[in-house]
Structure 1
Amino acid sequence: RRRLGLTATLVREDGREGEVFSLIGPKRYDAPWKDIEAQGYIAPADCVEVRVDLPRDERVAYAMAEDADKYRLCATSETKTRVVEELVAEHAGEQLLVIGQYIDQLDEIGERLGAPVIKGDTSVKERQRLFDAFRAGEVQTLVVSKVANFSIDLPEASVAIQVSGSFGSRQEEAQRLGRLLRPKKDGRSARFYSLVARDTLDQDFAAKRQRFLAEQGYAYRIMDAKDVGTAG
């Protein structure tokens, strides 16, 4: 009997990677993402953490919220929606994904951008139609929930904007960056933005989410939201 497992994200937040090894045996080969990039199999990527400030009313609500509600409050800040609009305008003409955790946030962003939203209750037929339209360049911006974390092939996607995530999941961070890493026909780099609310749980979780990619050789540069549009 032979078992083979292939994954780019052998990491679990519960630390129980050993359960994988108990099923398929020990790890036989591990290649750093940057080595694969150097060989031309995946596109180079520029990772940017964009830090936003909560407006006063949201800061007050965050300070007074129960612990269970704090992350949702800071992760879905209205300020992020405005920054998404600015980034989409900055990358006009590129194939772009906006990715998030909270459906109400994604619906609002989709409405503001005039872009289709793919989420859990989107039918398989409609998902396929939208993904095909995106691949063909007929749709340039898609707003997607965590349903796009796995097994979605969008070769020409070159920009992703992450507005919220599954708390501190390193695996999800890597999966979302992975949506951009198919080599581009013109050889250009991918750009992965992660929007983070400053001095909140969002910033704490972002640091944890980025750890796996840092181990793969990716460095996040920090940008203030007010500088969006003034730097490349």
Structure 2
Amino acid sequence: MVKLIYDKGTILVHGVRVPNSYWDTRSNAYRALAMYYADIVDFLKCSKMEISDNVLDLIPCPVFSIKTELRDYQEDALNAWLDAGRRGVIVLPTGAGKTILALKAISLISEPTLIVVPTLDLMDQWQTQLSKEFKIKIGLYGGGVHELEPITVATYDTAYLRVEKLGNKFAFVIFDEVHHLPAPGYIHIAEMLAAPYRMGLTATYEREDGLHSELDRLVGGKIFELTVGELAGNHLANFIIEKIVVDLSPKEKEEYEKQYRIYLDYLAQSNISLKSPRDFKKLVFRSGKDPRARKALLARHRARVIALNASSKLKTLREILEKHAGDRMLIFTEYNDLVYMISKNFLIPSITHKTPKNERVENLEKFRKGKYKILVTSKVLDEGIDVPEASVGVILSGTGSRREFIQRLGRILRRKENKSAILYEIITKATSEVATSRRRRSAIED
């Protein structure tokens, strides 16, 4: 008889060697990562071996059920996941109802479920929705709270620290914003969980570092995807994107060119070619040892700040505010300094990562009720947080990330009768912003 035992994020196999295992002399058994639990059981059953399975120690739970009906594309996504063996990543745009789809999956599996999310705000958001749908107490692991329940929501950070204890308590795990999972450290969460059923949710599957290839091993590969363009008009609002190009002032242009020239000269003198994000990371690493590289990167940063915060952008923003007076609008920037400047100059409520939680909740609630028509924010609203319906978005500055662009666009696409959304992208002429814009817009032009 082959005996299986869970041990701190791994499985001890007594009696026979199984795939993905190695001999552990201290335990006098073969050892494998807990993520291979389902594969090990399948292997042993196919080999017609008798098994003593002591791996899962599931939390007792009731039968889960919800009455919410799925849209046709959500049903298609769920069926694709079921057909893939209840494993895999579902890619849907922001606002397309990934959470509802996940709740339906929980009700179908009806087993203890762990949901892993990147932020405390998302943890609270999931708790609220889960409590509403299932009418039970929801466990939380994050922000200093460690409550284990049949359905538990954990942050990636806390799950990473506690995964050895949580690893055999759940049959189903959902990774929200699953593109975070392949990051160093977080990857161990998936490896040390024995849960046989796995679902990943995201609006953007690919990572610039290529590590999304790990998701096939950790969760199951991409098994369903719909783009913003495919859902716009039916399940999401129709939209247009308007790019506005502005000029630097003479003083800004002089300083920008001076700083950027320092950067380019260093690349030329050092015979460095930046053809990929990995090449740039190598340059950053080099700056830790080479003072000239550090000087070049600082000059590049100063040039970028000048381009992103060009004074003419505020003039253009004023024109957009006047044009869309009364419309609900979200303004996105790269840096908090510009958020605070806009908030002060235009008397617009702001939200950044420094905004106290109570104030953030209050601002979003007033925006939802229409007491506030406009919010200005940096990156804190890019991902996951449920933002009330808006029809106008303004990107004053941002990175070249396709993910960031899709998430910001998604914030204004919630469906409403006769709604047409517009996203303004304001970029500075003859600066690195031009290439940045081209990279991020490729997310919807491919």
TM-score normalised to structure 2 length: 0.46
Alignment of 1:3-42 (within 5 A): 3-38=198-233, 40-42=234-236
Aligned residues: 212
* Aligned match of 1:98: 331
Q: Secondary structure at the match of 1:156?
A: coil
Superposed, which structure 2 residues align to 1:56-71 within 5 Å? Answer: 56-65=250-259, 66-71=299-304
Give the CA deviation at 1:11: 2.3
Q: Which of 404, 425, 428 is the matching residue for 1:194?
A: 425
SS of the equivalent of 2:375 reads strand
Aligned-partner Cα distance in 1 for 2:216–2:420:
34
Match of 1:55 in 2: 249
Matches within 5 A, 1:1-232: 1-38=196-233, 40-65=234-259, 66-165=299-398, 167-184=399-416, 186-215=417-446
Identity %: 32
**Which letter maps to 2:355?**
T
The structure with higher relative contact order (CA 8 Å, sep 6+) is 1
- Higher strand content, 1 or 2: 2
Cα distance between partner residues in 2 of 1:76 and 1:22: 42
How far apart, in 1, do the equivalents of 2:198 and 2:246 lie?
Answer: 46
Question: Following the alignment from structure 2 to structure 1, what is the Cα–Cα distance between the partners of residues 216 and 310?
Answer: 40
RMSD value, Cα? 1.2
Alignment check: 8 A CA contact 2:232 2:239 kept: no
Does the 8 A contact of 1:170 with 1:211 survive in 2?
A: yes
Q: Residues 21-46 of structure 1: CA distance to partner in whole angstroms, max 9, x if unpaired?
A: 221112111223222224x2111111
Question: Is the CA contact 1:62–1:73 (under 8 Å) kept in the aligned structure 2?
Answer: yes
* Structure 2, gaps ≥5 residues long: 1-195, 260-298
Which ranges of structure 1 fall in alignment gaps of 5 or more residues?
216-232
2:393–2:409: 8 Å Cα contact kept in structure 1?
yes
Assess if the C-alpha contact under 8 Å between 2:229 and 2:444 holds in 1. no
Displacement of 1:91 after TM fit?
0.3
After superposing the two structures, state which structure 1 stretch, 6-15 or 142-151, moved more: 6-15
Q: CA deviation at 1:196?
A: 0.3
Higher Cα Rg, which structure: 2
Q: What amino acid is aligned across from residue 441 of structure 2 in structure 1?
A: Q
- Shift of residue 200, structure 1, vs aligned partner: 0.5
